[in-house]
Amino acid sequence: MGMTVLAVDDSRTIRDMLKYTLTQAGITSHFAEDGEEGLTVLDTVEPDVIITDINMPRLDGFGFIDAVRSQETFKGIPIIVLTTESSADLKARARNAGATGWIVKPFDPEKLIKALNMVAG
């Protein structure tokens, strides 16, 4: 059984890059444009890992992480933040919200796949 990832990012370019990277690695992927849509998609899939941006319209990454972590079903799913942000304050805030890891854009495909494999066990 392969890995399934839900990626939430408002940038179509990043979603396309993620889709390509994940597909090349044999990972099943589902996508959402913001946190609101991410929660909707989460009702229909059971991802092994979630990737989320921070700065998004409607529901940002912090709100999305909070909403995911508030649901018992999803408490154990690793969440990797993929963002252009790199401040220690934001990293700490994401960690406190329940994020598992942090990757700064632009991402290195190999490092992303390695991180996904690591957090998915």
Torsions phi, psi of 113, nearest 5? -65, -40
pTM over 0.85: yes
24: which DSSP letter? H
Torsions phi, psi of 58, nearest 5? 60, -70
Q: For 13-72, what is each residue's pLDDT tens digit?
A: 999 999 999 999 999 999 999 999 999 999 999 999 999 999 999 999 999 999 999 999
Domain range list for the chain: 4-107
* Homologous superfamily in CATH for domain 4-107: Response regulator (3.40.50.2300)
What's the rounded Cα separation, in Å, for the pair 25 and 7?
15
